[in-house]
């Protein structure tokens, strides 16, 4: 069996340039599993844009760094499960 290489994808052509710039995301496709990573640099106020992005790209796995969420704050997106890990300082949350 040959090793599969990551393929970098860009946002779908009908996605707004604002979303492309804001998310500065990386999509990878490995054996039909789409993953996406996004350095949010504080997700507050960006949840609706995140939902739009997910509806367009439909990744199976979405990794969000630097959400700056606190404690039990959750992000709800239908058909996705939210997991988070506290930062070392205990004041902010990472997804």
Per-residue pLDDT of the chain (95 residues; tens, 9 = 90+): 233 333 334 334 334 555 555 555 555 556 678 889 999 888 888 888 999 999 999 999 999 888 887 666 778 888 998 888 766 665 544 44
Per the structure block, which two tokens stand in for 32? 């039909």
53 part of a folded domain: yes
Which domain, by its residues, includes 66? Answer: 24-83
Residue 30, SS3 per DSSP: strand
Residue 17, SS3 per DSSP: helix
92 part of a folded domain: no
37 part of a folded domain: yes
93: Cβ contacts below 8 Å, ≥ 6 apart:
67, 68, 69, 70, 71, 73, 84, 85, 86, 87
Contact at 8 Å (CB) between 55 and 29? no
């Amino acid at each position: 069996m040959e090793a599969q290489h990551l393929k970098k994808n860009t946002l779908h052509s009908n996605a707004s340039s604002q979303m492309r710039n804001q998310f500065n995301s990386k999509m990878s496709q490995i054996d039909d599993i789409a993953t996406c990573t996004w350095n949010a640099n504080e997700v507050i106020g960006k949840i609706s844009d995140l939902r739009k992005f997910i509806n367009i790209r439909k990744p199976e796995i979405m990794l969000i760094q630097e959400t700056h969420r606190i404690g039990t704050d959750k992000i709800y997106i239908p058909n996705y499960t939210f997991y988070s890990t506290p930062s070392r300082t205990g004041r902010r949350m990472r997804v």
